[in-house]
């Protein structure tokens, strides 16, 4: 039996599975214990260091224990001491950091013993999660993007850092935090802030990466800290960031990448060669992630590692949810386990879970498991959500082909699809039917691919493709503004969860760059002057956010919620309408019924609102959201008529 076949079977897991929660370096009661899982090792040596660069001051042979766990004990607290392991496998020795480390030195090569209670900022133990509301409106944000621009109002030494979120503590908030708190979103989805390998933490801060390159899963990224060498600083400042966001009433969702590591030569690989990664039949690493390797989810200790890591971030950092990168490389079984364990420890549905229900390529799965792809939505717990690429592409056009438009920017024949999107695809129209719209995350832009603004400019101003200069994307195009407002109006009036890319509300541009994962920070950063330049667009988004929270017919996440959508009509190319039963016994809605019209055509559209009890009010149109004005009477017969401008929408309530 080959080693690979051995790992793929159940025999190895049955023999060596370890369910203890004490792996890593733990400081308890003035003592320090080291435990690491390495069942194939012939020997392990623990090496201790005074800092993250000097020579070892002590080497200690680890003792083998049960189920492949090696251990060493010290009668004192070693808080602040750095360490690594010398691992001997098949006669060869390799150096490895601790896969279970909770902190580390510069660039993560040495782990650090950490008494986590000594890293808590003042009041952190009393930090409370924001109360769960009727609706979740999520804002995707990169930590460096948020405050790198001088216009952010953050002191220079804290720009692009965890500290930016705590700037102005107890005083006037800087521009970036003031905007974030006033926008009305309920959660911030922070792009990866575990320790990743693609940035040299000792550099000058001018390099940039999205962070989808995991190195140390349970350690905060050092480049966002004010001191990259003292491992306690990154932990404390990360906690300060989350605490500050909680004080502002914002939940924190962590973008996590458990599907691959930065390199196949990871700490996991060095501890147990061949176990943590999937392999093809020829022995090569599988690459369903398009990043060089795939984590072997479905094996007992891989699943334990991921599930324990997720709970650690919730317990220790007070994280409020998780967005899983390439969730299609994980398994339905693991995602349901995570959902169940979080519900048991923190309360049903209290921690949000959702992810990308796709993968970049095929990947060999463990026997008896199912990939967490959207076609397996019916196997996922209803509390595991997924991004709706169907909604995204229907509204703005094909995500990978910049020239292909969607409903709002000139696409044809998409009327029926738009009406299906309204129900969170519960009434068909997509390749899957979710259990409820609770599983669906609607959006039109995230960090991947073109920003919404750039996509609209490229499809609506094709003459610019030959010379994509900066001014081409930063100019105010009135037709693009109208399409942007309509795109936002549509997904904010669909059933399901809502997510938006930071800066979408003020025409964020990356100057036509569709894959800015390592572009200059000046390309990626939020330009805070645009909040004023695009103040009308910002006001429109704020209005939609405020209005959405008051519409129970759209916020309803029950499996039967799609039945609230009725009288769906296609009036012609680019023009559709529908009505919504907006009644709610628990929320006490202001309007019993809604009428929604999308007009993506080049001509104004007029329609009479349905007759019935009560007067119709226009609550949003193509230029103003969260307004309240009476709909005009038509023809003196007492019924109301509305005119929906070209490339705009209308929402009325009565």
Say which residues have a Cβ less than 8 Å from residue 373's Cβ, sequence separation at least 6.
Answer: 328, 357, 358, 359
- Among residues 135, 145, 149, 325, which one is catalytic? 325
CA distance linking residue 364 with residue 633, whole number of Å: 63
CA distance linking residue 45 with residue 113, whole number of Å: 16
Which 3 state secondary structure label does DSSP give 244?
helix
CA distance linking residue 236 with residue 238, whole number of Å: 6
For 544, which DSSP code?
A: H
**DSSP of 426-488, one letter per residue?**
TTS-SS---SSGGGEEE-S--SSSS-HHHHHHHHH-GGGTT---HHHHHS--HHHHHHHHHHH
For 149, which DSSP code?
A: S
Contact call for residues 262 and 197 (beta carbons, < 8 A): yes
Give the bridge partners for 606, in sequence order: 643
- Could you tell me the end-to-end alpha-carbon distance of the chain, in angstroms, rounded to an integer? 71
CA distance linking residue 502 with residue 510, whole number of Å: 12
Which 3 state secondary structure label does DSSP give 243?
helix
Which segments within 537-624 are labelled E, that is strand?
565-572, 575-581, 593-599, 605-608, 617-620
Give the CA distances from residue 476 to residues 173, 501, 537, in Å, rounded to whole numbers and listed in that order: 28, 19, 11
CA distance linking residue 644 with residue 600, whole number of Å: 10
Contact call for residues 355 and 306 (beta carbons, < 8 A): no
Burial 114-140 (b: 16+ CB within 10 A, else e): bbbeebbbeebeebebbeeebbbbbbb
The number of C-alpha atoms within 13 Å of 425 and in the hemisphere containing its C-beta is 25
Give the bridge partners for 321, in sequence order: 253, 352
CA distance linking residue 288 with residue 602, whole number of Å: 43
- Among residues 84, 356, 556, 621, which one is catalytic? 356
Alpha helices in 380-425 (DSSP H): 389-396, 415-422
Helix, strand, coil percentages for the chain (3-state, nearest 5): 30, 25, 45
CA distance linking residue 40 with residue 273, whole number of Å: 8
**DSSP of 322-366, one letter per residue?**
EEETTGGGSBHHHHHHHHHHHHHHH-TT-SEEEE----SS--PPP
Is 325 one of the annotated active-site residues of the chain?
Answer: yes
Catalytic residues: 325, 356
């Amino acid at each position: 039996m080959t080693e690979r076949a051995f790992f793929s079977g159940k025999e190895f897991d049955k023999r060596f599975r370890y369910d203890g929660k004490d792996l890593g370096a733990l400081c308890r009661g003035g003592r320090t214990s080291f435990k690491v899982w390495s069942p194939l090792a012939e020997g392990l040596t623990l090496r201790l260091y005074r800092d993250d660069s000097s020579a070892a001051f002590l080497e200690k042979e680890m003792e083998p224990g049960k189920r492949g766990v090696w251990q060493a004990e010290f009668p004192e607290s070693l808080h602040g001491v750095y360490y690594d392991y010398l691992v001997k496998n098949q006669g060869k020795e390799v150096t490895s950091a601790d896969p279970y480390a909770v902190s580390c030195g510069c660039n993560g090569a040495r782990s650090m013993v950490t008494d986590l209670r000594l890293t808590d900022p003042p009041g952190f133990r009393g930090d409370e999660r924001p109360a769960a509301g009727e609706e979740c409106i999520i804002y995707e944000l990169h930590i460096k993007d948020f405050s790198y621009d001088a216009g952010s109002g953050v002191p220079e030494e804290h720009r692009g850092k965890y500290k930016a979120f705590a700037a102005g503590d107890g005083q006037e908030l800087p521009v970036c935090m003031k905007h974030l708190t006033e926008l009305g979103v309920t959660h911030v989805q922070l792009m990866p802030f575990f320790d990743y390998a693609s940035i040299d933490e000792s550099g000058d801060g001018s390099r940039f990466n999205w962070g989808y390159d995991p190195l140390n899963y349970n350690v905060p990224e050092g480049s966002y800290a004010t001191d990259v060498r003292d491992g306690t600083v990154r932990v404390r400042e990360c906690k300060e960031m989350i605490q500050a966001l909680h004080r502002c009433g914002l939940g924190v969702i962590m973008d996590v990448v458990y599907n691959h590591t930065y390199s196949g030569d990871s700490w996991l690989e060095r501890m147990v060669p061949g176990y943590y990664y999937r392999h093809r039949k020829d022995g090569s690493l599988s690459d369903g992630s398009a990043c060089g390797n795939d984590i072997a989810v479905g094996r007992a200790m891989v699943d334990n590692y991921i599930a324990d890591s997720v709970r650690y971030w919730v317990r220790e950092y007070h994280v409020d949810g998780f967005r899983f990168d390439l969730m299609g490389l994980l398994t339905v079984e693991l995602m349901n386990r995570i959902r169940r364990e979080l519900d048991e420890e923190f309360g049903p549905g209290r921690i949000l879970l959702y992810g990308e229900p796709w993968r970049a390529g095929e990947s060999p799965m463990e026997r008896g498991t199912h990939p967490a792809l959207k076609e397996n939505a019916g196997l996922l717990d209803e509390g595991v959500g997924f991004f709706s690429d169907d909604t995204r592409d229907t509204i703005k056009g094909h995500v990978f082909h910049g020239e292909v438009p969607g409903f709002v920017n000139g696409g044809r024949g998409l009327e029926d699809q738009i009406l299906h999107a309204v129900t969170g695809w519960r009434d068909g129209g997509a390749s899957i039917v979710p259990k409820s719209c609770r599983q669906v995350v609607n959006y039109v832009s995230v960090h991947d691919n073109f920003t919404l603004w750039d996509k609209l400019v490229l499809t609506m101003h094709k003459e610019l493709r030959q010379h994509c200069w900066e001014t081409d994307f930063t100019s105010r195009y009135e037709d693009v503004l109208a399409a942007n407002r309509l795109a936002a109006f549509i997904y904010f009036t669909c059933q399901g969860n809502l997510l938006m890319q930071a800066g979408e509300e003020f025409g964020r541009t990356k100057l036509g760059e569709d894959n800015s994962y390592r572009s200059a920070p000046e390309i990626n950063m939020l330009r805070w002057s645009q909040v004023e330049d695009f103040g009308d667009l910002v006001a429109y988004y704020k209005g939609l956010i405020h209005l959405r929270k008051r519409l129970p017919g759209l916020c309803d996440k029950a499996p039967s919620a799609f039945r609230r959508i009725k009288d769906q009509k296609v009036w012609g190319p680019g023009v559709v309408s529908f009505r919504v039963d907006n009644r709610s016994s628990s929320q006490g809605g202001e309007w019993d019924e809604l009428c929604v019209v999308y007009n993506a055509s080049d001509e104004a559209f007029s329609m009479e609102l349905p007759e019935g009890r009560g007067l119709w009010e226009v609550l949003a149109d193509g230029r103003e959201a969260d307004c309240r004005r009476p709909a005009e009477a038509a023809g003196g017969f007492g019924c109301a008529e509305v005119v929906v401008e070209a490339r705009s929408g209308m929402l009325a309530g009565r």
